[in-house]
Structures are given as structure tokens and as C-alpha cells.
Amino acid sequence: MLQIAGRKFSSRLIVGTGKFSSNSVMKEAINASGSEIVTVALRRVDLDNTQEDIIEAIDFSRIQILPNTSGAQNASEAIKIANIGRNMGLGNWVKLEVTPDPWYLLPDPIDTLKATEKLAKDGFAVLVYMNADPVLAKRLEDAGAEAVMPLASPIGSARGMKTKEMIRIIIENSNLPVVVDAGLGSPSDAGYAMEMGADAVLVNTAIATSDNPVKMAKAFKLAVEAGRTGYEAGIIASKEHAYASSPEKGII
């Protein structure tokens, strides 16, 4: 079972909420995904406007809400937003995102580390969005993070596991759960990350913007389960060269 910050989850698929066409489609997709952790951008949360609010659409009894600090460009903004979320009553989990560059939304390693230290000290369970940097992953672990979330490729790009060599090292070295985040475009990408030994994956764009988000959520669920099961079974080493399974020798 997946365990993060002392809580256990049977699903290893975390889903995002930012890009759906409506709350009802989102709800259905979350159900189909089987996900028990759902991330929500705090900058979108508006408790004053209940008809439009994402929070209203999420079933708290079953789902751990993971507020994120998207939009924060530095440590102090991220810390401020995280506290606003906690004060709203959204709990002490936070997905830390510090992205100074509004274009590719790549995380700032320095301010991410600073914010992690501070938030962990202040009692938050910090799950950290980060570039796939194995040394940074260890530094975040030392700083008190509860999980590291390295990106597979730039957010929204659907390019798949472009950082796989670095993620491999992160998984090998980490004492924390490793959640592969951002850039997973297809179920097979997610399956691949799970086969490598990732503890979980986070998917948003690929589900929310597909032609059929509910079906796609299900596809990711199956892929994550398949990948994890494969990992647990012990996948045989891939071969460098292809060998014909029925040798040609002797045919002629």
C-alpha cells in the first residue's frame, strides 16, 4: 500500500483538477480513476462562491485533498498560500509548487528547498514538486519533505518519461515516496513509471483534456495497477538486442 505522511492509500494514482470542462465531468473522472488523493490549486479555491467551487465537488470522506501552491513564484508566496489553505480548513497537506517561470512552470530548486524547510517546521506534510534532480531529492528529504514529486517532462507537455534516468536514481536512493508528476501523456507513460518502481503518479492534463476524461481516467487507473503489479512481480531485465525466438538456423 502507498503510505504518505502516515496515511495509507490503496490507489497509486493522484489526479489534478485544473483543466476539466466542468465539475460534474471532474467528479466522474475522479471516481473512475479510483484516486484517493486529489490536488487542487489554492488560487482557484473560493469559499465565497459555492456554485463554482472545485472544493464542493470533492468527496472529503473518501479523498485526501492535496492543496497546491501553483502560481507561487518564490518561497514566501508559497508559504503564504499554504497557510491560507490551512486556515481555510483544508488540512495540513500541501503540494509545494514554486514556479518562477510562467512559461514552462519549471520548479525553482532553491526556493523550493527553502519553502520545504519552513513548511515542514510549521507542521505541514509537504509533498514537493521538483525537477528530476537526485541530489535535490535528498536535500528535500533532509529538509523534512513527506514525498518528492519529480517531473517526467514539462507540465502539460504530454511528452512522457523524458527524465527517466534521473528518476531511476531518485527512486533508488529515496527513503520517501516518489510520485512521478507532470508530463505523463498516456496510460503507458504512467505504467512505465510504475514499472520503474515509482510509488505513485500524478496525472492532470492527460485525463482532463482528453476527448473522454472519464474513460481516460479509467485507462490510467488500469495502467498504474498493471505497472505496479509488474514491478512487484519483478520485471525481467530488458534485452539490449532483440533475439528471434525461433532461430533461423537449420531452416534452409
Partner 1 sequence: MRYKNFLSLLEQYRWEKVSAKIANVKPDTLDKLLKKENFSVGDLPILLSQTASARLPELEKKASRITTQYFGKARFLYAPLYITNRCINRCVYCGFNKNNKIERKRLSSKEISKDADYLYNQGFRHILIVSGEDPIVMKSDYLIDTIALLHKKFPSISIEVQPLTENLYRKAVAAGCDGLSLYQETYNKKVYKIVHIGGPKRDFRWRIEGPERAAKAGIKKINFGVLLGLADFRTDIFFAALHAAFIRKRFWKTQIGFSFPRIRPFVGSYQPTVEVKDRDLLQIILALRLVFPQAFLVLSTRERAGFRDKLLQIAATNTSAGSKTNPGGYSDDSTTGQFDISDNRTPAEVVRAIRAAGLYPVWKDWDIGLAG
> Annotated active-site positions, please?
95
CA Rg, the chain, in Å? 19
CB 122 → partner 1: shortest distance, Å? 15
CB 211 → partner 1: shortest distance, Å? 10
For residues 125 and 28, what is the distance between their CA atoms, to the nearest angstrom?
A: 28
19 forms part of the interface with partner 1 (CB under 8 A):
yes
C-beta of residue 9 within 8 angstroms of C-beta of residue 37: yes
Nearest CA to 67 out of 86, 35, 39, 27 is that of 39
Nearest CA to 222 out of 11, 62, 7, 68 is that of 11
CB 164 → partner 1: shortest distance, Å? 22
Nearest CA to 136 out of 155, 152, 116, 154 is that of 116
Query: Per-residue string for binding with partner 1, 211-240, x by CB under 8 A?
Result: ------------------------------
Single residue of 66, 90, 208, 217 touching partner 1 by CB under 8 A: 208
**Percent helix, strand and coil across the chain, each rounded to 5?**
40, 15, 45
100/144 with CB nearer partner 1 = 100
102 forms part of the interface with partner 1 (CB under 8 A):
yes
131/173 with CB nearer partner 1 = 131
How is residue 141 written as a grid cell? 528529504
The binding site for partner 1 (CB under 8 A) comprises 18-22, 42-46, 49, 52, 71-73, 77, 80-81, 83-84, 100-103, 156-158, 204-205, 208-209
